[in-house]
Amino acid sequence: MGLNHYVTLGRSGLRVSPLCLGAMTFGLEWGWGADPSTSRRIIDHYLDHGGNFIDTANIYTKGHSEKIIGDHVGASAKRDRCVIATKFMGNLYAGDPNGGGAHRKAIYQQLHNSLRRLQTDCIDLYWMHFYDPHTPIEETMRAVDDLVKAGKVRYVGFSDTPAWKCTQAHMIAEFNHWTPLIAIQIEYSLLERTVEAELIPMALELGLGVCPWSPLKGGVLTGKYGKDGTAATAGGPTPSKPGRGEWVTRHLTDRTMTVLDALRAFAAQVHVTPAQLALAWVQSRLGVTSTIIGCRTVEQLHDNIKALDAHLMPEHFAKLDELTRPTMPFPQSFLPGTTPVMQGGTTINGVRSELWPLAPKTDGERY
C-alpha cells in the first residue's frame, strides 16, 4: 500500500491519499519547524511518492505556511494534482474583533488572504478550524455555501468542533440544500481516544470522512522523549527539549511509558518503528480516511510513509486497546449496561446479551 492508494473523503467523490501532509511545521516563525527550502523538499518527496493531500491553515506560522505552499505549488503545474486544504477562524490581527471567527465578514477576508498566499483561485477543502460560540451556525454554513457557489471553495469540513455542533451544521445545510460537510478533522491517537465517544460515531452515522491530527501526540509516540521530557539529539549526547514544550511534556506520564514499552515490543516483532506502528493503529481505526502527518525533515516524512505497510497482529490490537481504553462520559458509560434490558437475552446483529436479572421469568410475573 502506498500514498497512491487513494480513498474518497466522506460522502464525496474527492480522492485523497491515505496520509495527508500536514503543513503546520512549514516555516520557523513559531520557534520550531522546517525552513522554506526544507519544506519544499518535503512537499516534493510527498508528491513524488503519489501523495496529493496537503493541509494547512491561515494562522500556521503567521501565514508563512500558506505562502510556502503557494510559492512552490500554487504557482506551478503541480497545483491541479494537489488537494489543498486550509482553514478559517484564527485571528492574525491584534485588536480587530472581526479578524477571526466563523462569521461572514471574517470568512470572506480570511479566504481572500489565503487565496493570495496560496496563489490559487480556489480552495479544495475549506475547514472551520474550531468552534465559534459567538456566530450562529446558520450564518457560517450559508457563507461557505455562497463561496462554493462562487467557485472559491470546493468542499467544506469542520475541525475541532463538538459533535452536536457538527451535526447541527450538517443537517441545517442538508435541509436548506446548502453545501454539507464532507469530513471532520480531530485529534486522535493511542493517547487521545475520547473522540470515540461522540465524534467518531457521529462521523460514521453522517458519512463524514475522519482526518486525525497529531497521531503521534506531538512526537510522544515516537518514543524519542524520556519521562524527563528530553530527547537525545542526532548530533550527539546533548539532550534536547521538545519545541512544543508543555503541550508535549505533560503527556510523558507513567501510563504513556507503559504504552511506549508495548509499542516498542510489538514494533520489533513486525520489524517497524514504534512511530510507524502508532500511525498504522490510527489509520486502521473505524471511520478514519486520511491521517495527517507532520514532519520537519524529509527523513521523517519517508519514515512516516512506511507506516502504510505496517500491520498490527490481533494480539497487538487487544493489548493496545487494554492499555489505552478511554474513560467514556455519560451516557456512553451507561449504555452498555442497557443491552440486557433491551435484548432480553437474545443476540441482535451479532451483539449478544445476558438475560436481565430483573426481567419477568414467566408470563405470570408480568402485570
What does R_g of the chain's alpha carbons equal in angstroms? Answer: 22
Long-range contacts, stretch 262-270, CB < 8 angstroms, 24+ apart: 262/319, 262/320, 262/323, 263/190, 263/221, 263/223, 263/320, 264/223, 266/312, 266/313, 266/316, 266/319, 266/320, 269/313, 269/316, 270/310, 270/311, 270/312, 270/313
- Is 60 catalytic? The answer is yes
Helix (H, G, I), strand (E, B) or coil at 337: helix
Tell me which of 46, 60, 126, 225 is the catalytic residue: 60
How far apart (Å, rounded) are the C-alpha atoms in residues 206 and 173? 13
Of 278, 271, 277, 276, whose CA–CA distance to 304 is shortest? 276
Whether 340 and 354 have beta carbons less than 8 Å apart is answered as yes
Name the residue with cell 494562522.
59
The full DSSP string for 195-258 is GGTTHHHHHHHHT-EEEEE-TTTTTGGGT---TTS-EEETTEEEEE--TTTHHHHTT--HHHHH
Q: Give the residue numbers marked as catalytic.
A: 60
